[in-house]
Amino acid sequence: MVGFGPADLGSNPSRATSRIRNFINRFRFEDTMAIQNIAVLGAGQMGNGITQVAAAAGYNVTMIDIQQEYVDKGLATIERSLGKLVSKERMSQEDADATLARISLSTDRADCADCDLVVEAVPEIVDLKTSIFAELDSICKPETILASNTSSISISTIADATNRPDKVIGMHFMNPVPIMKLVEVINGDKTSTETNAAVIEASEKMGKIALSCNDSPGFVSNRILCPMLNEAILTLQEGVAEPEAIDGIMKLGMNHPIGPLALSDLIGLDTVLHIMNVLYEGLKQEKYAPAPLLIQMVEEGKLGRKTGQGFYSY
Ligand code: NAD
């Protein structure tokens, strides 16, 4: 899910960051499991970003999708992204080349077998995720940590599809992955402290700030973000203001980097609706009911940037 950057950590981001690190360190074990080889399942929007930051951090990464054209497309996105970093002098050509050299492509999930960590980033469909986790459990060595980048599906439900629920965890990267600093780490009801510590360590090695929470509908990020997006859509539906005014008020007035309607278009209105449904069904409160305009736009195929039409035209 798209989120906000470190500027939102308060008036002094570095002090806030160090307070957060100290908090995390209290729960850290001295000897975390050493992660060297990572597999990323799914080469889409999130999967290729996760592959890029993991490879840039020095991990050997196998990026896996169901068809060669999807992994090729994912790799082309990574090449473009690294090219931009080099042209802005934020990465040397040598480091970009070394990052690419650490990435292998595959269409065979059996290539996860010897990895220390698998990060799953396939579409947000419960049955797909549970069947993939059951398969990973049978393919991977016993020590492998199985992480999901799900935005809203219960980590405990995913973990129950395996015989290693202590090694299953949520590793929720934000979009766009190379830019956004946060990884929301979600502990299922059986996730071990060792698994949590290993994933925090790996996230930090990838240059991220990892913050933990417990499994609950929408976790922290989407439980707070999506009702705000939904409220902006209700505000539009009720004719309170035009989209540009709603977004401008939230950007200028609240110092948000992007307005809620533009952000909904970026995330995808189908995804926002899906998460609102998870909150509504999971928390059983009327305040989480998805806005009728959101439902209508999804039915009309106006999903935001990915279809060229949402609250704005692209
Ligand atoms: P996407 O559609 O861009 O990519 C998903 C990829 O998974 C596709 O390339 C698809 O071919 C591949 N895939 C499907 N089945 C597979 C299988 N069995 N094995 C391997 N690959 C398979 O989706 P995305 O936006 O990258 O989202 C992926 C996950 O990340 C979802 O759970 C989503 O909720 C979560 N997420 C998305 C965002 C966001 O803003 N898009 C942010 C945070 C988390």
- 124 contacts: CB under 8 Å, gap ≥ 6: 150, 151, 152, 153, 271, 274
Whether 89 sits among the annotated catalytic residues: the reply is no
Domains and CATH numbers, the chain: 34-214 (3.40.50.720), 222-307 (1.10.1040.10)
Rg, the chain, Cα only: 19
Per-block mean pLDDT, blocks of 10 residues, the chain (314 long)? 40 54 47 82 96 98 98 98 97 98 98 97 94 98 98 96 98 95 98 98 98 97 97 98 98 97 95 94 96 98 96 98
Assess contact for 269 and 229: CB atoms under 8 A.
Answer: no
- Report the pLDDT value the prediction gives residue 173, as an integer from 0 to 100: 98
Q: How far is ligand 1, taken at its centre, from the CA of residue 122, in Å? A: 3
281 among known catalytic residues? no
**Which entry of 48, 148, 151, 212 is annotated as an active-site residue?**
151
Name the token pair of 65.
């999708």
- Whole-number Cα distances in Å, 71 to 75, 78, 92, 310: 6, 11, 25, 28
Q: What pLDDT is attached to residue 34? A: 85
Residue 107 neighbours by CB under 8 Å, 6+ apart: 64, 65, 66, 67, 68, 71
DSSP state of 173: E
**Is 222 annotated in the active site?**
yes
Q: Which residue is catalytic, options 81, 120, 172, 274?
A: 172
